[in-house]
Amino acid sequence: MPTRKPFLPPFYLIAATFIGIADTLYLSYYHYLGITPGCALKGCEVVLNSAYATPFGVPFAYLGLVYYVYMLALGLLVAYDPYSRALRLGMLAYAGIGLLCSIAFELIQVFLIGSVCMFCAISAITTLVLFGMSVWYYRSTR
């Protein structure tokens, strides 16, 4: 009796979310302690202490953490039911919204703040990877 290979794309998505969770959890922890983490680019201090870092009093690090945890939940649901059209479409839409927000946050850093945060860039790249994998997954399971 031949065995079926596991369908791996949802697990790639799950792995990528852990990178985002680690990054935003690190920033959230430091924000909670009231400490600004240092970074190799020397722009983190400027970005994380700017007025743009906490829209409506909520730090972007917390918003990012919520985004990645929710993306992890979607990834786990898709791993459970890999061909659910609603879940695949939901993951694609949610990753697209996250990508648009990441682009906006990066543009704010470059043009309004004038500095780039390494941790924010890691989060933006992770979101781009999640969006790319969501598109790939959606197209491969049609």
For the chain, what percentages of helix, strand and coil (3-state, to nearest 5) are there? 75, 0, 25
| pLDDT tens digits along 83-131 | 899 999 999 999 999 999 999 999 999 999 999 999 999 999 999 999 9
User: Which two three-digit tokens encode residue 16?
Assistant: 């990528």
Q: In the 8-state DSSP scheme, what is residue 52?
A: G
| pLDDT tens digits along 26-84 | 999 999 999 988 887 788 889 998 999 898 899 999 999 999 999 999 999 998 988 89
Tell me if residue 84 falls in helix, strand or coil: coil
- Degrees to nearest 5, angle at CA 34 with 56 and 116: 70
Q: What's the pTM?
A: 0.90
Q: Where are the domains of the chain?
A: 9-140
Q: Look up tokens 């953490």; give the residue.
A: 65
What's the fold here for domain 9-140?
Answer: de novo design (two linked rop proteins) (1.20.1440)
